[in-house]
Structure 1
Amino acid sequence: MFTWMTAKRWLLRRLSLILDLSRHILPRQSSRRLALVGCVISVLFLYTFLFGWPGPNIYSNKQPAIEHCVADHMIRKGISHPLVNGQAEDGTYWRENRVAFAGNGFLGIDMALDRRLVLLANESGRSHLHTGFHPLVDVQMPLASQRDSMAFADPVDGVARSVHCSKVADKCVCISQTVYAHRTRPELLVQDVHIINPSTSSFSVTFARRRTDWEEHKKGTSSSPVFTKLFSLGAKNLLVAVQCSAIPTKTVAIRPKVEESFRFICAVDSSATAENGNAAGGASARGSQTAAVTRLSATFARLYALSSDQLDQEHALAWKELNSATFHISKSKAPNALNQPQIDTVRHALLSTVRATLLENGTGTPQMMMMAPMTTKTADQQQREIALRWASVVRRSAQCYAGHSTLLTPSKLWQRWDDLRTALKTLDIWRMTLEHRGCARLMRGPTGAHGVVQAFLLSLSAATFTTASSPPAAAAAVGAPHTLQQQQQNNSPQQERANAVGGVGDGTIRLEIGLDPESELHRHIQIDGLLVGSSDALRLSMDFQLDLSLKPFVSLRTYASPALPSSSPVLYACTAGCQEAPFQIGEKQISLAIKVTRPRTPIIFVSEHADQLELVRKTLHVIEVVDAPAHEQHTVDLHKHGGPGGGGLPTLFWVVLVLVLIAFHLFLLKLLYTEWQNASGVPGGAPYSKYSKRVLFRRE
């Protein structure tokens, strides 16, 4: 069998042969140096020809020239995308996934294909309302022979993006669009258009919004029209009103070497009306229509007066807060494996279909309400409000999530999205699954999108919150619930944190991690920001890895909110069976070996109180507790390299090695043949010829 050691010995014998020949064929020192220089130059030339000079190569060789424009534009704008990084597997997913969804739980839109307004249903079992209204502005540019486009959702910023590029005079002319449904102002839809013309020639673009069959209401000559339509939803009617900013009526000239930006906004209002079965109902509907137009016009005027920076900052900070809890899994090349882009896309879309009630301005009712004025707050006040919002999530997490990990694939939860309806159907399955597995109280309550973040994270990690009896000290420290404003004005920070969870006098919460060590811990899994503490909203970080013997272990640490510097973030944990004393988890990371029991129990228990884990040890009855078995090498190789035995040297290495060996042997044969022919005519050639014959016919 041809192994690496065999190849090494074979190469060493060839190297010894050429060195032995060089001592007789090239007797002079200068000739040896020239030969060495020639060999080095040949190797460098061969390496440059095969690999190219080292440096950042942002383009895949499989990409045509026009796709370079799209990739280059996203790099210059700092947009992370798998196609830009040359990741073929993830790039295929982005190409095949045809939905670029943006939403805030009240409204949503797919800017890839559908581009029509959808009013979202926040509860499972209810249908979303596809209005058929086109709020987005279409940008038309001159036709070019080479064009390419890309539309995708950005999970980090909570927006949907599209890039359209054309080749004009050998330059990449790109139109990028960013669309988002404002996270804290649910009635607002924002579209940014950015046009870049690096060429030396100017061109014209036109803006157009598709016509609609909605009823148009015009107030004055300067204001934009309000469009209304009445939808019948079984026993009631829903009146929807939309007002969008005006678009340029004439073509816009884009001069050479210039970048132009445009912003368009839309405001949406919905309200229930009476039935149209009688005259009174018709009059009521007309009155509701007039009221909706008046209300929406006033709201649109206030939104239009706000600065773009303020709207963008509000939206970005809201999504940053929702993204503070994360789940990461290492990349796998195994067939049908679940990778990070799929998880991020589903997570972003799921959050986009749920209202962030704790973040929204106003009352947070499904209908659009008048916005409360923004007040200036210090950084400490903002951090305290964030801590209070997350603290309210923990108390509602009891009994969520019960079941196996949702990382299982293939599954209906991770199917491809061909259009918006398929995507919304999949997201409905997600909500029903989480609610059925004990997370209904967490998702349907006032926690909204914050609760969905917690439930989604728990489902991936097969983690369950269970209630346990509270220690007397913990129960006495908890007061009656208050509203958020009363807590901020009257209560101390400790009382605020206790009241935010709605009271825990009936028991505290214990976290149990139920991942399967044998089937789910053969990849690197990192969970960060999982809320655990019921009084201080402590966050738990878990890092599952494999040691050198391929046995799984976990690294744990905890940290508190920046608004709570005086609190000491301390939790307690024990492994499966809780046969040992609880380990204290602090800001310094600790590592624990994963254990399994018979019968099976959760692999990790986490609580704020050590005596709870002592109670678990006394009441948990198992036959044996052993270390989790080591994973098979071929299983790890399957995820790392796409198949067993893939951990060897890359294919390109062997191709280069074969080419080098062929070139070396051709050079050697030519050298030996030349010396063989010239040996008889050179004085003293007989001994030299005898040496050449001995070397040439030597057995190995």
Structure 2
Amino acid sequence: MWLQQRLKGFPGLLSSSWARRVLAALGFLLVLYWYLSSGSLSRLGWRSGQPGDAAAVCLQVETKPWKSLSDGGDAWVLPAAGGERTAVKPMVTGNGHAVLDIGSNQLWVTPAAASGPAHATDFPPLLRIKPVTAYAQAQATAVLFREGVVRTVRCIQAVQAQSPRDCLSIREDFLCHRSRPHLYLQRIHISNPSQKVAAFEIFSLTASVGTKFSTSLEKVDDRNFLLYSGRLSVLEGKIVLLVIATKKLVSRVQVRPKSEFADTVLSVVYVSEAIESIKQEETFNKLRESAKKEMVEVMQMGIEDLFQEHQEMWSDLFISGVEMHKRMDSHTPSSETINLTLYYILSSTPAPLLDPLIGSEDQEKMEASLNYVDHCFSGHATMHAENLWPENLSSISQILQLLELWKLTLQKRGCKALVAAGAHGLMQGMVLSFGGLQFTENHLQFQSDPHVLHNSYALRGIHYNKDLINLAVLLDQEEKPFLHVSVKLQDKPVRLYACEAGCLNEPVELTSEVKGHTFPVMVTQPLTPLLYISTDLTHLQDLRHTLHVKAILAHKEHMAKQDPGLPFLFWFSVASLITLFHLFLFKLIYNEYCGPGAKPLFRSKEATTV
């Protein structure tokens, strides 16, 4: 009835002019809210003529493939210029001999025959590309882990009223070649989909270094390149000399409508060891000759061959790695932090196994150390060591400090041979340390703390006798952890066996099946490794008799004993309070109806008729 009366009065309400205005205003606000929240404004913003709208839309299209790479842990994307970000991480590419800081356009070099860290130079290694006319620009940068490349994309809105489809785009790839330690490249690709000619200026900032570097134009056959010579003061009384040869490009480029421009800047850097000043001229001559020779050699090679060669080497390094599937606490590093840390360490470390000058004997020793490293990694896992997996790194100096900390940690935990093997060894050591994997004389054991297995992660590419083992800690539907092991055979088939904690069950032979093998997480008392892997079946069968465990529990039972819940006193107090409350309530009811002066429960007929 109440609703019908209100509905009958509704037409009268609309007859009021102020009511109609209020309803119209509310409707307008609702439409505006839907329009803003649905993203329509951002998709069609370039029509409004706001600065950068067309460039921003163009950039979204150009960088769309990056999302799948980022989600898969194969790339880290720096937000578009102007976007909000909590911290700016260094965008670097390197090979241990040279490191390029893309953001600050700075070259870092390692002196020849030196085991110390790299040193910053005043030489700007990268060319700058500037459009002659630009109304607005948008830029994004990504680090591609498996390719060892830093890629930047710029979209340029030439005039105010321009569609995103007509925006100019500049894509640049920066890399320090992995197997050619003196070579770094800058690949440039400019696309002009518009109907007008686009002009660009290409220039270097080498003029800013003044007299610190001398410059000369070199001509070999029909090839021209620039040769820069400079010096660093690293120790008192000693200097380090460096010579950079770089391809000479034109200073201005015009890209015709509906066409593209592509070129690659090749640069070679040679660095001396720390020398006395009296040897300066002789050393400079040797460095210049070496730089000229390699520069002519790489200029004769195909650019795509150089890129493919580099990417194959980087891909080989990233066969090993760590993947974080599910992070349940803030102390565990994220996938982004893990991949960036691995990338930074590899970019700052030489790879002796890829050096063409390495002897066959030294190469065999390094490869043998990768396949089986006795007593590495000893001690507790580094998963929760925040100083080894830092979230915030802001400079190359901090990266170099982190590299030294990782080297020291691995050396003190029985991994000296891996550190000596360079980038390949460091990657192996970091993977072993993350999960607490340790090689012993006869087996590989997984000795992670059972209390951290609520996190789900995978360790891939663990070298074991020339085979690759993948070990993952996964969670079932009830959030209970279990172990998954798979093997990728690399050489002659070698039988591998595994058993869970205590080795009470018969060891299982590991095969290269795609589905792999699963093992329950069992916890022994006293605590022993959660998994054993060995090529010796007899060794694992004998192991059960040498562990001398008192008990073996499932992971869930172990955690229940470790965390039995709230103490008895707490539950006794709660039960007492509940009992006292009910006694008090009973007393109130009793006094109300049964105590002195209580009212009768039923009224008599006489009292009713009066």
Once the two structures are superposed, the pairs formed by residues 388-403 of structure 1 within 5 Å of their partners are 391-395=367-371, 397-403=373-379
> Residue 107 of structure 2 is aligned with which of 100, 104, 117?
117
Match of 2:21 in 1: none
Q: Single out whichever of 343-352 and 409-418 deviates more from structure 2.
A: 409-418
For residues 316 and 488 of structure 2, what CA distance do their matches in structure 1 show? 16
Q: Does 1:311 align with 2:243?
A: no
Match of 2:320 in 1: 325
CA RMSD of aligned residues (A): 3.7
The alpha carbon displacement at 1:450 in A equals 1.6
Match of 2:401 in 1: 425
Match of 1:488 in 2: none
For residues 603 and 51 of structure 1, what CA distance do their matches in structure 2 show? 50
Letter of the aligned partner of 2:426 in structure 1? V
> Residue 176 of structure 1 is aligned with which of 171, 174, 179?
171
Does the aligned pair in 1 maintain the 2:446–2:531 contact within 8 Å? yes
Cα separation, partners in 2 of 1:529 and 1:226, compared to 1, 3 Å: same
Does the aligned pair in 2 maintain the 1:147–1:167 contact within 8 Å? yes
Letter of the aligned partner of 2:100 in structure 1? I
SS of the equivalent of 1:108 reads strand
Cα separation, partners in 2 of 1:425 and 1:165, compared to 1, 3 Å: farther
> Residue 429 of structure 2 is aligned with which of 455, 475, 486?
455
Match of 2:508 in 1: 583
The alpha carbon displacement at 1:269 in A equals 0.9
Does the aligned pair in 2 maintain the 1:401–1:458 contact within 8 Å? yes
The alpha carbon displacement at 1:87 in A equals 11
Cα deviations by residue, 1:153-193 (Å, 9 ceiling, x for unpaired): 21011111112222232333221110111111111001101
Cα separation, partners in 2 of 1:397 and 1:412, compared to 1, 3 Å: closer
Match of 2:90 in 1: 99
The runs of 5 or more residues in structure 2 that have no matched partner are 1-33, 46-51, 561-610
Does the aligned pair in 2 maintain the 1:518–1:629 contact within 8 Å? no
Letter of the aligned partner of 1:522 in structure 2? H
For residues 600 and 287 of structure 1, what CA distance do their matches in structure 2 show? 63
Does the aligned pair in 2 maintain the 1:107–1:187 contact within 8 Å? yes
The alpha carbon displacement at 1:632 in A equals 9.5
Cα separation, partners in 2 of 1:333 and 1:596, compared to 1, 3 Å: closer
Does the aligned pair in 2 maintain the 1:197–1:256 contact within 8 Å? yes
The alpha carbon displacement at 1:409 in A equals 5.9
Cα separation, partners in 2 of 1:115 and 1:89, compared to 1, 3 Å: closer
Cα separation, partners in 2 of 1:422 and 1:455, compared to 1, 3 Å: same
Match of 1:514 in 2: 447
The alpha carbon displacement at 1:357 in A equals 1.6
For residues 300 and 136 of structure 2, what CA distance do their matches in structure 1 show? 40
Cα deviations by residue, 1:78-133 (Å, 9 ceiling, x for unpaired): 9834699999999999873431111111111111x222111147999823211121
Higher strand share: 2
SS of the equivalent of 1:179 reads strand
Q: Does 1:202 align with 2:204?
A: no
Cα separation, partners in 2 of 1:443 and 1:337, compared to 1, 3 Å: closer
Letter of the aligned partner of 1:426 in structure 2? L
The alpha carbon displacement at 1:518 in A equals 2.1
> Residue 157 of structure 2 is aligned with which of 164, 167, 177?
167
Cα separation, partners in 2 of 1:592 and 1:204, compared to 1, 3 Å: same
For residues 96 and 359 of structure 2, what CA distance do their matches in structure 1 show? 11
For residues 78 and 172 of structure 2, what CA distance do their matches in structure 1 show? 25
Q: Single out whichever of 394-403 and 198-207 deviates more from structure 2.
A: 394-403
The alpha carbon displacement at 1:591 in A equals 1.3
The alpha carbon displacement at 1:325 in A equals 1.9
Does the aligned pair in 2 maintain the 1:105–1:122 contact within 8 Å? no
The alpha carbon displacement at 1:363 in A equals 3.7
SS of the equivalent of 2:533 reads strand
Q: Percent identity?
A: 22
Q: Does 1:343 align with 2:344?
A: no
The alpha carbon displacement at 1:146 in A equals 3.3
Match of 1:357 in 2: 352
TM-score by length of 2: 0.74
Does the aligned pair in 2 maintain the 1:569–1:586 contact within 8 Å? no
For residues 525 and 421 of structure 1, what CA distance do their matches in structure 2 show? 30
Does the aligned pair in 2 maintain the 1:120–1:353 contact within 8 Å? no
Does the aligned pair in 1 maintain the 2:371–2:464 contact within 8 Å? no
Between Structure 1 and Structure 2, how many residues are aligned?
500
The runs of 5 or more residues in structure 1 that have no matched partner are 1-47, 366-384, 469-509, 634-700
SS of the equivalent of 1:431 reads helix
Match of 1:465 in 2: 439
Q: Does 1:74 align with 2:63?
A: yes
Match of 1:501 in 2: none
Letter of the aligned partner of 1:427 in structure 2? L
Match of 2:534 in 1: 607
For residues 580 and 110 of structure 1, what CA distance do their matches in structure 2 show? 54
Match of 2:496 in 1: 571
Match of 2:129 in 1: 139
Does the aligned pair in 2 maintain the 1:517–1:552 contact within 8 Å? no
Does the aligned pair in 2 maintain the 1:552–1:630 contact within 8 Å? no
Does the aligned pair in 1 maintain the 2:523–2:530 contact within 8 Å? yes
Does the aligned pair in 2 maintain the 1:559–1:569 contact within 8 Å? no
Match of 2:591 in 1: none
For residues 78 and 258 of structure 2, what CA distance do their matches in structure 1 show? 36
Q: Does 1:547 align with 2:476?
A: yes
The alpha carbon displacement at 1:336 in A equals 6.2
Does the aligned pair in 1 maintain the 2:112–2:273 contact within 8 Å? no
Once the two structures are superposed, the pairs formed by residues 117-266 of structure 1 within 5 Å of their partners are 117-120=107-110, 126-142=116-132, 144-168=134-158, 169-171=162-164, 172-211=167-206, 212=209, 213-220=212-219, 223-234=224-235, 236-249=238-251, 251-266=252-267
Cα separation, partners in 2 of 1:93 and 1:154, compared to 1, 3 Å: farther
Match of 2:547 in 1: 620
Letter of the aligned partner of 2:378 in structure 1? A
Does the aligned pair in 2 maintain the 1:518–1:631 contact within 8 Å? no
Letter of the aligned partner of 2:512 in structure 1? E
SS of the equivalent of 1:606 reads strand
Does the aligned pair in 2 maintain the 1:244–1:265 contact within 8 Å? yes
Q: Does 1:443 align with 2:449?
A: no
The alpha carbon displacement at 1:410 in A equals 4.2
Cα separation, partners in 2 of 1:94 and 1:185, compared to 1, 3 Å: farther
Match of 1:531 in 2: 463
TM-score by length of 1: 0.65
